[in-house]
Amino acid sequence: MSSALAALALVIAAVALFVARRASRQAAQLTELYWQLKYDHGELKATIAPGEPPPPPAPKTSFVPLGSIKRSND
């Protein structure tokens, strides 16, 4: 009975070790993909990003003397 329990514990430990190693590899791969994507995004953003936007056009102001405005009610 004791040896069967030890064998079962050994099998469970081996499966746990396999699962932990696989998760570790997947985490390392995801981390590498994240940093690669972040780098590529920065490169594309630097390539596509336009320069400084042009300043808005100055508003057109013109002087209109009040005497030249005709009243429509007269």
Is 43 within a domain? Answer: yes
Is 71 within a domain? Answer: no
Tokens of 32: 């590498």
Q: How many domains does the chain have?
A: 1
What DSSP letter does each residue of the chain carry, written as one string?
A: -HHHHHHHHHHHHHHHHHHHHHHHHHHHHHHHHHHHHHHHHHHHHHHH---SPPPPPPPP-----GGGSPPS--
Confidence at residue 22, expressed as pLDDT on a 0 to 100 scale? 97
Task: Give the range of the structural domain holding residue 42, as residue numbers without chain letter.
Answer: 2-49
Is 65 within a domain? Answer: no
* Alpha carbons 59 and 23: distance in angstroms, whole number: 62
pLDDT tens per residue across span 20-64? 999 999 999 999 999 999 999 999 988 886 777 778 888 887 777
